[in-house]
């Protein structure tokens, strides 16, 4: 079972977007382990809408060529793992670092 439900994530994101409360306040308010997690939900929601907050049930596999392309993009551009993941439709940026 996922630690945070879709509804919970959406509530936190909406409070950030419409309540003008920062992630540094929201994380402890809702007992979320880090403000970085809150920021990831916000970025995912802004990029993908509701789908960005839903837990993916599919186990995506990537070809060697795709992985190589991601490494090349990361090395040749000055972007973070998170920016690279979002630009390529990957909601969990840790996938890029792995």
Q: Per residue in 50-81, pLDDT tens?
A: 888 887 666 777 788 888 888 888 888 878 88
Q: Residue 58 has what pLDDT?
A: 66
pTM (predicted TM-score):
0.64
Q: Is there a contact between 37 and 26 (Cβ–Cβ < 8 Å)?
A: no
62: left (phi over 0), alpha (psi -120 to 50) or beta: beta
């Amino acid at each position: 079972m996922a630690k945070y439900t879709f509804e919970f994530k959406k509530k936190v994101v909406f409070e950030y977007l419409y309540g003008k409360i920062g992630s540094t306040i929201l994380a402890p308010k809702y007992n979320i382990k880090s403000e970085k997690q809150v920021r990831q939900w916000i970025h995912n929601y802004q990029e993908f809408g509701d789908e960005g907050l839903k837990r993916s049930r599919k186990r995506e596999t990537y070809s060697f060529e795709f992985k190589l392309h991601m490494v090349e993009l990361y090395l040749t551009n000055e972007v973070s793992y998170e920016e690279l993941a979002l630009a390529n439709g990957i909601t969990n940026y840790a996938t890029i670092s792995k």
